[in-house]
A and B are shown apart, each in its own frame.
Chain A
Amino acid sequence: MTIEKAGLPIVHITALPTISAMAGIHRVLRGSSVTNVLGDTALAPDYEKRLQRKYVLRALEILQMEVTGKQIFTPEGTC
């Protein structure tokens, strides 16, 4: 929160986005799960790597978006 207040573009990736939004963060990306926020152990290793990359690219995309209010994003769209 304080990093965002300082004016730095920041996106928070977490599996519990409501907590982050409640704290006031405007760019929140819903992560995969608590113990594996960017991946999925059910996937084969190469495919998990693809998922991790998808999350990071989505996060970078979100960092370039103008937001007017709190927004919880998913890898494909918004919540």
Chain B
Amino acid sequence: MDRKRLRVVHYLNQFFGKEGGEDKAHIPFLIKAGPIGAGMVLQKILGERGDVVATLICGDNYLAQGGEKASREGIELILPCKPDILIAGPAFEAGRYGVACGGICKAAHEKLGIPAVTGMYEENPGVELYRKEVYICKTERSTVKMAESLKLMANLALKLTSKEKEGKLLSGEKIGRPEEDHYFPRGLIKNEIVDKTAAERSVEMLLAKLQERPFQTEAKRPELQPFYPSPPIGRDLSDCEIALISDGGLVPKGNPDRLRSRGNLIWAKYRIETFWPREFPAAALEVSHTGYFPVHVLEDPNRLVPVDILRDLEKEGIIGRLHPFFYSTSGCTTSQARCQEMGEEIAKELWEKKVDGVILTST
């Protein structure tokens, strides 16, 4: 089959696009010719099959917060490049980057009809948000695996048979099952002809399950089970105790409990009277969290944890009282399992202390 050289656009965030770090997370889209940074690795992987004709760069906050409107802006910018494929990231475990990559890939598929592939670690929130609409390759946590991840993504992109509006075939190969092509299941059902009937396969699976032998399910249940909402506060607010929690990594200066700025596993509680002095609280606090630019919070911690506001409301009689302890953790790439455990531990304390309501603030 005659393969034309594919025109590939590579989407990168501000960091991988070499524009800056968290200080540039707010920047809008910009486009540069040719590959940048990891894009050069992508170019090498593509070899004769394609060219990274342009790199689309955007700040994580701009795209993750901007939603569909922002994604469409990005697509407008790449139209003149006439891309055949969009490759985004990979984002690994970076949450906002994952959400951004998912968004731009979805927009590329919807507006341009071109295959768009990204890569993320399984716990990236972008996976659950976008896996039904976007091909997301499974990557490891660490950016050390950049080349391997790009290889998986490029292979998948090349395999995708075209749903382009022009109806051209990109390659002769067909997309395989999620396990074969290393992407997260999209919830698509494809008919396949197999030797055994559904009845035979079900009985075999049931026998395997009863005999505690391994078996492969054909339909995986989603991991996150829904639960009932908690009841509202049933009493007068002026009688209630309200607690504050944050995963933005706000800690006393010196970080005495050593909350890690990344992959943190612990929470701490701080007596607000000592933790948050009435005068100049910013001087007594610091932030241990590498997932966002903390400069605004360090200027005025109320921007993250509204202690002073609640103190005012208590004085005015609008609430009964502010719970004397602030519960702090740092939620940058903490595993879902550990987050749930921490939640249970904090919930137990709050329940015992008879707190009426909780405000959780995140970045």
Interface residues of A (CB under 8 A from B): 1-16, 18-20, 22-24, 26-27, 31, 33-39, 41, 48-49, 52-53, 55-57, 59-60, 63-69
Cβ–Cβ contact A26 & B230, under 8 A = yes
**Structural contact, B64 and A52, CB atoms closer than 8 A:** no
Chain A CB within 8 A of B125 CB: yes
- CB of B146 within 8 A of chain A? no
Determine whether the beta carbon of B360 is less than 8 Å from that of A13: yes
Interface bits B248-274 vs A (CB < 8 Å: 1, else 0):
100000000000000000000000000
| A39-B296 in contact (CB<8A) | yes
The total of chain B residues at the interface (CB under 8 A) is: 59
Report the separation of the CA atoms of residues A65 and B337 in the bound assembly, to the nearest whole angstrom: 29
**Chain B residue nearest in CB terms to A67:** B229
B211 within 8 A of A: no
Is B297 a contact partner of A35 (Cβ separation < 8 A)? yes
The residue in chain B whose Cβ has the minimal distance to the Cβ of A40 is B303
Query: Can you name 22 A-B residue pairings with CB atoms under 8 Å?
Result: A5-B227, A6-B350, A7-B351, A13-B362, A15-B363, A23-B125, A24-B227, A27-B229, A35-B294, A35-B295, A36-B304, A37-B303, A37-B363, A38-B303, A39-B300, A49-B302, A52-B309, A56-B309, A56-B313, A60-B319, A63-B232, A67-B229
Chain A's nearest CB lies how many Å from the CB of B101? Answer: 14
A56 to chain B: which residues have CB within 8 Å? Answer: 306, 309-310, 313, 359
| Inter-subunit contact B230/A9 (CB<8 Å) | yes
> Known: A3-B346, A18-B129. Contact between A64 and B232, CB under 8 A?
yes
Q: Give min CB distance, B337 to chain A, whole Å.
A: 11
Chain B residues numbered 108-164 whose CB sits less than 8 Å from any CB in chain A: 125, 128-129
Q: In the complex the two chains form, what is the Cα distance from A49 to B306 in whole Å? A: 10
Q: Do the beta carbons of B296 and A36 come within 8 Å of each other?
A: yes
Query: B298 CB to closest chain A CB, in angstroms?
Result: 10
| In contact, A34 and B229 (Cβ under 8 angstroms) | no
Contacting pair A16 B233 (CB below 8 A)? no
A23 to chain B: closest residue by CB: B224
Contact A16 B96 (CB under 8 A): yes
Contact A19 B297 (CB under 8 A): no
A7 B61 Cβ-Cβ under 8 A: no
Closest chain A residue, CB of each to CB of B128: A22
List the A side residues contacting B125 at CB < 8 Å: 16, 19, 22-23
Nearest Cβ on chain B to A15's Cβ, whole angstroms: 6
| Further contacts, 14 of them, CB under 8 A, given A52-B303, A69-B229 | A8-B355, A9-B357, A10-B358, A16-B96, A33-B65, A34-B64, A34-B65, A35-B61, A36-B296, A59-B359, A60-B318, A64-B233, A67-B229, A67-B232
Nearest residue (CB) in B for A5 is B227
Q: How far is the CB of A32 from chain B (nearest CB, A)?
A: 8
B344 within 8 A of A: yes
B87 within 8 Å of A by Cβ? no
